[in-house]
Amino acid sequence: MKKILVTGGTGYIGSHTAIELIKNGYEVLIIDDLSNSTIDVLDRIEKLSGKRPVFEQFKLRDSAKVDDFFEDYDIDAVIHFAAYKAVGESVQFPMKYYKNNLVSLANVLDAMKENNVSGIVFSSSCTVYGQPDVLPVTEDTPIKPAESPYGRTKQIGEEMLQDQTVADTNLKAIALRYFNPVGAHESGENGESPTGVPNNLMPFITQTAIGMRDELKVFGTDYNTVDGTAVRDYIHVVDLAKAHVKAVERLIESKSDKQYEVFNLGTGNGFSVKQVIDSFVKSTGVELNYSYAPRRDGDIEQTYASTTKANDVLGWKAEKTLDEMTSSAWKWEQYLLSLK
């Protein structure tokens, strides 16, 4: 059984990916510092997949602990999620993001080389494109100066991977540039549960709907979009998790065309913030208290993916609708309420 290290594996996307990996016959090992997740996520992964992952809690910036972990386990490939990810916070605290996101990746790549681990899937982001001149965004869309330190860490992370594949001819890397993950497991028993005030739209919507937040602020009403609010390509987290399984298979089965590959992961459709709100109200029957506010620093107007390469080369396609995304997120929020 192939062993896959999932860094940040108790996080939102990491935990869903761990479930899909186990369902597909992989053994999952998780490193997470629990800075934006909780230990009970392991219980949920075990319940929904039938198997509990190996887990160790520490910061990947601790190179000695990273080295020890790789020496203790015979790892076949790595999926690297672990990173801070709030755009607004990164504008306020850029050094926090550079130290965490880049040193962690460097330590993982060093340990991989030292222990002859030859494949890594990197959690990248559509933020590397900035505000694109032409839509939809393809993998050949020019990389623009990042709009935030968070986006810049993803750009630099990709450059680190490219440089390492040149230096280490045994290494193969796949960067998955995903758009906006939302939704929850179909059971309603695993989803996005950030500590503190959410930075992402969907958990803020669901927390507002249950009265945990006074209201949802919609940042920006004067964008050149269908209704003036920002447009994103929202993708269901389970679809996204399945793409990581496809990428791991591609590495392990040596199907990669070259040492470093990039794939956009999205639905190919752009939805505005207002359209997401409308979908939530429609799919759940729950009204939402929201108001409009000025634009935020670091936000871009609109972006959505071309999915041709992911469909044709990676053999993956997003399947779930926006209504399925919003309704599953609400099911998860209700599940959390039932635990209190």
Nearest to 35 by CA among 3, 75, 81, 66: 81
Q: Is 142 helix (H, G, I), strand (E, B) or coil?
A: coil
Inter-axis angle of helices 94-114 and 63-72, to 10 degrees?
30
Q: What is the pLDDT of residue 197?
A: 83
- 164 and 45, same structural domain? yes
Residues 101 and 209 in one domain: no
Pairing of strands 77-80, 180-182: unpaired
Does residue 105 sit in the same domain as residue 29?
yes
**Which tokens hold the place of 48?**
């929904």
In this structure, the answer to whether residues 150 and 213 fall within a common structural domain is: no
Residue 340, pLDDT score? 80
Beta strands 231-232 and 271-272 are: antiparallel
Closest CA to 200 of 101, 299, 332: 299
Q: Rounded distance, CA 280 to CA 220, Å?
A: 19
Mark residue 196 as left, alpha or beta (left: phi above 0; alpha: psi -120 to 50; beta: remaining): left
The list of the chain residues with pLDDT below 50 reads none
H-run or E-run covering 120: strand 119-125
**Separation of alpha carbons 132 and 188, rounded Å:** 35
| pLDDT of 334 | 96
Residue of 84, 97, 129, 150 marked active site: 150
Within-domain flag for 325: yes
Q: How many domains does the chain have?
A: 2
Q: Is residue 138 located within the same domain as residue 53?
A: yes
Residue 189 lies in a domain: no
pLDDT for 316 equals: 98
Which residue type is seen at 235? Answer: I
Residue 276 in tokens: 């997401």
Report the C-alpha gap between 171 and 260 in whole angstroms: 9
Helix then strand then coil, in percent of the chain rounded to 5, is 40, 15, 40
In a domain, 143, yes or no: yes
- Give 302's strand partners: 231
Other CB atoms within 10 Å distance of the CB of residue 152: 20
Task: Let me know whether 67 and 206 are in one domain.
Answer: no
Q: d(Cα 34, Cα 290) in Å, to the nearest integer?
A: 31
Q: What is the pLDDT of residue 186?
A: 97
| CA gap 270, 136 in Å, rounded | 9
122 & 27 share domain: yes
Whether residues 48 and 165 fall in one domain: yes
Same-domain pairing of 30 and 145: yes
Q: Where does residue 1 rank: exposed (0-12), middle (13-18), buried (19+ CB within 10 A)? A: exposed
Annotation marks residue 97 as catalytic: no
Please choose, from the candidates 69, 62, 122, 94, the residue with its C-alpha nearest in 3D space to the C-alpha of residue 243. Answer: 122
For 106-136, write each residue's pLDDT tens digit.
999 999 999 999 999 999 999 898 888 899 9
Same domain, 226 and 293: yes
Q: Are strands 290-293 and 234-236 parallel, antiparallel or unpaired?
A: unpaired
Distance of alpha carbon 248 from alpha carbon 117, whole angstroms:
13
DSSP reduced 3-state for 133: coil
Task: State whether 141 and 252 are in the same domain.
Answer: yes
Q: Find the CATH number of the domain harbouring 26.
A: 3.40.50.720
186 belongs to a structural domain: no
Containing structural domain, residue 292: 201-232+268-305+319-338
Residue from 298, 293, 252 nearest 273 by CA = 293
Q: What is the pLDDT of residue 131?
A: 82
CATH number (domain holding residue 331): 3.90.25.10
**Are residues 154 and 14 both part of a single domain?**
yes
For residue 53, the model assigns a pLDDT of 98
Count Cβ atoms within 10 A of the Cβ of residue 74 and give its class: 0-12 exposed, 13-18 middle, 19 or more buried: exposed
Mean pLDDT of the chain: 96
Do the domain assignments include residue 26?
Answer: yes
